[in-house]
Amino acid sequence: MPLPSGIEQQIRRAVRGALGAEVEALEPIAGSLGLRRFARARLSGPGAATLIARVEAPEDPAGRPAGAAPEPPLEPVRALFAAAGLPVPRRLGADEAHGVELLEDLGDLSLAEAARGASPAERDALYAEACGLVPRIQRLRDPGGLPAFARRLDAELFRYKAGLFAEWSLACRGRAASPAERRLVEETFALAARAAAAAPARLAHRDLQGSNLLVRPGRPPGERLAMIDLQGALLAPPEYDLVCLLRDSYLELSEAELDAQIERVRPRLPDPPDPETFAARFDLLTLTRKGKDHARFLYAASTRGRRDALAHLPASVRYLRRAAARAAARDPGLRAFAELVHELPERPCAA
């Protein structure tokens, strides 16, 4: 999709003002399901250097709970990660008044794309490196007043996710959710919210999935990955980023792969949760995270014409079914919700 002329001009002005350079060409880059715009800018002059322009856009009303504050800007959380030696793009400049960030170009190869074509051993190594970032993020501390440390995966966010799941996901069965079904969803997500509130609060990337990790060319094993899309960082249970990464709708891992990664990384977390506590929270967070993702895929396809999002529904449903079955085995009170989840078709009739 071509960039609107107004955004092109914003990027050109930002490059000129921050770097004293001119843009020779702009190439739009497909973003996530949000409205933020990205482009690769090729600068004029010797070397034909490139950078990534990231442009904020008006918020989607369905993108956050009513009354909740919008996401903070990318800075200063990017700077916090960088100062700790975590792999993130360098900031080359900005036009903060117009919401334009100019970032290091790390290429186009995402972890999800790289893993699809990798051997089993290579895939394991890539995901081990990705999982290894999580303990490092969780050890970060607030240098003072950083917005990420004032944000939390709280009850309001769980209520928002429950509302999305009840409205969009349950409707994909061919009928709207009944009042009783809505209550069941709300009660289950509230249970997950209570479990999250009782857990240690650790800094989380919040969207650490395969599309937000880039494989940098020419780097040795252990130094290949870099994180993008950091602005949503918040405090969450220790398992949250690992749910995002290992229950990724963009690349489905087998149960054996997931178990191997968890066995490797769980003991490395700060004050590591015991295996049963970790597993119980991991499944509850999977239900709420993948429930929200499933609903957002349907929402994007229906309201924005993003039919490509429907390709990620089957993996999301399979994750939900497995997590619901395990959660119900621990807590019989969740059996009704597990039965509801098992009604979700992998491919909705409207798809």
In tens, the pLDDT along 219-266 reads: 999 999 999 999 999 999 999 999 999 999 999 999 999 999 999 999
Percent of the chain having pLDDT more than 70?
Answer: 93
pLDDT at 71: 83
Percent of the chain with pLDDT over 90: 87
Backbone angles phi, psi at 61, to 5 degrees: -55, -25
Of residues 3 and 47, the one with the higher pLDDT is 3
**Residue 35 predicted with pLDDT over 90:** no
β-pair type (225-227, 100-104): unpaired
pLDDT at 60: 52
Q: How many CA atoms lie within 13 A of 328 on its CB side?
A: 15
Q: Residue 349's pLDDT is what? A: 55
Q: 101 and 113 in contact (C-beta within 8 Å)?
A: no
Separation CA 233–CA 246 (nearest Å): 18
Residue 283 pLDDT level (bands cut at 50, 70, 90): very high
Average pLDDT score over residue span 285-313: 94
pTM score, whole prediction: 0.94
- pLDDT reading at 170 higher than 60: yes
pLDDT at residue 30 in the model: 81
- Give one word for 202, left, alpha or beta, with left for phi > 0 and alpha for psi -120 to 50: beta
Q: What is the mean pLDDT of the chain?
A: 93
Single-letter amino acid, residue 31: G
Options 3.10.105.10, 3.30.70.920, 3.30.160.40, 3.90.1200.10; CATH for 111-341 is 3.90.1200.10
Contact present, 293 and 249 (Cβ < 8 Å): yes
Q: Which residues pair with 29 in a beta bridge?
A: 38
* Greater pLDDT, 76 or 32: 76
pLDDT value of residue 304: 86
Give the pLDDT band (50/70/90) at residue 66. low
**Lookup: tokens for 161:** 């996710």
| 141 CB burial (10 A radius; 0-12, 13-18, 19+) | exposed
Position 58 confidence tier, pLDDT thresholds 50, 70, 90: low
- Spell out the residues 6+ positions from residue 328 whose beta carbon is closer than 8 angstroms to its own: 334, 335, 337, 338
Answer whether 319's CB lies under 8 Å from 249's CB. Answer: yes
Cα–Cα distance list, 336 to 134, 163, 314, 328 (Å): 33, 18, 21, 8
Q: 87 by DSSP, 3-state: which?
A: coil
